[in-house]
Structure 1
Amino acid sequence: MIKKTKLTIPMGVIILSVWLACFYPGNSSAASLPGALIRIPGNGKAIIVEKKSQMLYVYSEKKGIDSPIFQAPCSTGKNPGFKTRVGDKRTPEGVYFLKDEFEDRYLTPVYGKKAFPSDYPNFLDLRLGKQGSGIWIHGTDKILKPMDSNGCIVLENKNIIALSNYIHLDATPLIIVEQIDYASKNTLMRTRKKIDRFLEKWTKALAAQSYHTYLSFYDPSYLPNISWWEAWLINRDKAGAQPPEGVEILLENTGIYAQGGVIVVLCDMSLARNDGNKIYLGKRQFFIRQETTAPLIIGDFFQAKDKAFNSGEPPLLAASRMLFQDQSTHKLVVETVQQWMAAWSSKNMDKYARFYTNDFVCNGMGKTAWVKRKKRLARKYDYILVTGKNFKAFPTKDGYTVSFIQHYKSSGFATTGIKQLKLVRQAGEWKIFRENWKGK
């Protein structure tokens, strides 16, 4: 018969076990991730500066945000608290983005080997009446001391150089906090999904719904500029009447960051047709107030427009005009490319040459050298046959780009690949300005 023995666990062990369970739960709900990092896009990075510890951290979602991939001591403003005015020697707190990069040859020694200006004051700072500017991350030629700057974030020179490898201008967030708040993975995922759903609904309202539905996504305290809506509606309806019907607003490479009770979003915004052709507009920034029922936008704008849209006209309008032009133009451009292939296949090289602009350049050759080479090949081969399929044409700022699968076959050579032609309008005709080829 086996005698049962009562197991007695010392009280100290019980207390230690409870303490460890509280601080190291060992499950996915543990509050061990920086709460500001709701999403870091793709291969992007995020910088967090903790003023209390005088430390700078770099995180990457690809590597997992449970631990930084780089960290270094830093120095912030001599005075504690939020920055509110010029000369208060305080470092602001919030979500910012780095706008430029300066090398040491452009800097006085006090800025060290590198410097990165931020976009302080951001939208929220201006709304709260905060003043000041010139908040940078930079190096120093002095010994680094805690809380010794006039408001900038200062690193030792070796660390500012190392940090520069993780910075992508107009994309890498600089998140400055007094103390890092931590959250569980589950909490961050819930917030991420909530914001994703909200932005998806916003894009659908902009692409296909009414003015009133679009405005319902905005906080009553913030009225966005909608002077462009009527013109956008006309272009949008024109697009809906063309096959394939419909338009789409694309938000990609989306970063989502928390600033107190506000969510800061930065993403790449594009306008697309349903056939896959799209035009990149620029980087869009959103400030979204979290509500118990639904989020609301309290500010949105283009942080950086694509260079094609620097004229001052809203990028959405300019792009919609380019993307949704009369389909007869689209058809004419494709027909021009097909006629060019027919001239090439028939070895009518004089007609072939007339499809090119006088300033055409490809592979280092101008039009004269290019046509001379093609004529030499036409004489060399008994026959040439050039065909294409899957034509895609989309407008650019100054013309059209046509891409397609090209199959070339002659009596001595055959190949298939992707051909891309850039066409411009000259003397009432579409002519080839640039040509690119990528073999399969």
Structure 2
Amino acid sequence: MRGLRKYCWVAFVASALLPWNATAVNQDELTARLFVQNKNTNIVERMLVQTLQSIKEGRLQQALDYVDQLLTISPNFALAHLIHGDLLSAKARILNGFGDASVADNGRIQDFKEEAEIRIRNYFDRSRGLTQPNMLVQLSGKQSHVLFVDTAKSRLYVYEKNADDNLKYIADYYVTIGKNGIGKKDQGDKRTPIGVYFASKKLNRPLPDLYGDAAYPLNYPNEIDSFERKTGSGIWIHGTPHDTYSRPPRASDGCVVLSNPDVKALQEILQIGNTPVVIGVNFQWVNPQSLKTQQSLKADLKSEIEQWRKDWVSQDTDAYLSHYASDFFYSDGSLSKWSSYKRQIQAAKPKVAVNLNDVSMFTYPNANRQMVVVDFEQEFIGPALRNVMKKRQYWVQESGQWKILYEGSA
């Protein structure tokens, strides 16, 4: 009876950690998910699920074998050590709670439980790899991948541009975000920002072990962040200390943190530089065939950008300025100052040419109105000047039309 009580508790813990739909899947399907080698599935997570599923089914020795293998692969995986300790202790005594055999700190136990739940929920997500965020996305000719960080799922998703300029799912990884959650506003608030950012190349200077094998800075604060008077800096994608496989879901100072093996898996993408990273919360995940509305919005926006270019070339100042939102801003001021400047330089109707290349577009997540970040290479040719620059604009919906909220160099 005592041994049964020990087993029942361990099985109860496994059942509590496994998501409800994991208990409902067909056994053949479950076996296929657990044991088929899938290049898109992290082997650490796969073996974690194998361990907990074996506990749930009462195969404690097999679970112990699995977790032993897991620790051979990742000897610094604290969650696996916790489960390993519970399994060993269950042979000798009754356990009173998850982590009873290993850790006295209730806060750490809760962190481990949350990490296990998040990892396993993702593993059994039936739509995983078959959907993408319901966003307007267009990669430039120099961008091959886009990264989406869904902070509600503690997950980073990698999508690649295919031959049709659509997105193809590649992989996804568990991430840690800020201790105090999302919505960074102030320096030191230990929150992860929400928005569209671009990752620069790997930092080459020596860094503390906290940042693991690599660190890739994001351009926080971006133009919108600065306009909204958000402060702070140093938001990076980086790894973990070398004695730590992963950190709890909320444990960073605001950075997006992956395990060192996962950071290494992303290095070829990130090392190119200028990699778009869209950080949001509770993305609406849809089938790619359900993106007709976004395709229509993209077509309308492309048309507006082209009309903006034409109105600039024609030197029709009123038509040109009609493309700017009433609350437009730029580095030197507001719409009124911008309008005055443009009217002054276009008064002589100089003949100019403007060409736009390598255009990219990304919906700004969780904004209070429809907003898209547009980057492009702008070639301007005037009577006394030829200039090529990287340009960034933020377009918003105003009274049902696309308007420019911000414009400046990228």
Same fold (TM over 0.5): yes
Residue 283 of structure 1: which of 373, 379, 390 is its match? 390
In structure 2, what is the equivalent of residue 149 of structure 1? 252
Distance 1:124 1:43 in 2: 24
Equivalent residue number for residue 256 of structure 1:
361
Q: Residues 292 and 211 (structure 1 numbering): CA distance in 2 closer, same or farther, change over 3 Å?
A: closer
Name which of 368, 380, 403 aligns with 1:271. 380
2:132 equivalent in structure 1: 33
What residue number does 2:106 align with? none
| C-alpha contact (below 8 Å) 1:203/1:248 kept by paired residues | no
| Residue 406 of structure 2 is aligned to residue 293 of structure 1 | no
1:195 has 2:289 as partner: no
Consecutive unaligned residues of structure 1, counting only runs of 5 or more, are 1-23, 25-30, 241-246, 304-440
Alpha-carbon shift at residue 176 of structure 1 (Å): 0.4
Partner of 2:173: 72
Q: 1:129 to 1:189 in 2, by over 3 A?
A: same
Which structure's relative contact order is higher, taking Cα pairs within 8 Å and 6+ residues apart? Answer: 2
TM-score, with length taken from structure 2:
0.58
Looking at structure 2, the residues matched to 164 and 119 of structure 1 have their Cα atoms a distance apart, in angstroms, of 18
Secondary structure of the residue aligned to 2:377 is: strand
Measure, in 1, the Cα distance between the counterparts of 2:349 and 2:379. 14
Root mean square deviation of aligned Cα: 2.8
How far residue 170 of structure 1 moved from its aligned partner, in angstroms, is 6.1
Which residues in structure 2 correspond to 1:413-432 (within 5 Å)?
none
- Asked if 2 retains the 8 angstrom alpha-carbon contact of 1:38 and 1:191, the reply is no
Report how far residue 130 of structure 1 moved.
2.0
Task: Kindly indicate whether the alpha-carbon contact (under 8 Å) linking 2:213 and 2:260 is maintained by their aligned counterparts in 1.
Answer: yes
Deviation at 1:66, TM superposition (A): 5.5
1:163 partner SS? helix
TM-score by length of 1: 0.54
Query: Do 1:40 and 1:61's aligned partners in 2 also have CA atoms closer than 8 Å?
Result: yes
Output the CA distance in 1 between the equivalents of 2:342 and 2:167: 43
Query: What CA distance in whole angstroms lies between the structure 2 residues aligned with 1:289 and 1:283?
Result: 20
How far the C-alpha of 1:178 sits from its partner, in A, is 1.2
Which secondary structure state, in structure 2, belongs to the residue aligned with residue 250 of structure 1?
strand
Shift of 1:42: 3.1
1:30-58 Cα deviation digits (max 9, x unpaired): x9432234212236211111111111112
The aligned residue for residue 50 of structure 1 is 150
Tell me the CA shift for residue 287 of structure 1: 0.8
Candidates 154, 166, 176, aligned match of 2:269? 166
Instruction: Name the one with the larger strand percent.
Output: 1
Choose 1 or 2 for highest CA Rg.
1
After TM superposition, the runs of 4+ consecutive aligned structure 1 residues lying more than 4 A away are 63-67
For residue 285 of structure 2, what is the amino acid of its counterpart?
Y
- Residues 217, 290 of structure 1: alpha-carbon distance in 2 compared, 3 angstrom cutoff: same
CA displacement at 1:150 relative to structure 2: 0.7
1:176 matched to 2:279? The reply is yes
Residue type of the partner of 1:255?
S
What one-letter code is carried by the residue in structure 2 that aligns with 1:258? T
Aligned residues: 262
Specify the SS of the correspondent of 1:266: strand
Verify the 8 A CA contact 1:112 1:140 in the aligned structure 2.
Answer: yes
Secondary structure of 2:293's counterpart equals helix
Structure 1 distance, partners of 2:349, 2:157, is 45
- Which one has a larger percent helix, Structure 1 or Structure 2? 2
**Aligned residue in 2 for 1:420:** none
Cα distance in 1, alignment partners of residues 271 and 386 from structure 2: 22
Change in 2 beyond 3 A, CA 1:154/1:232: same
On the 8 A contact 2:202/2:271 being kept in 1, the answer is: no
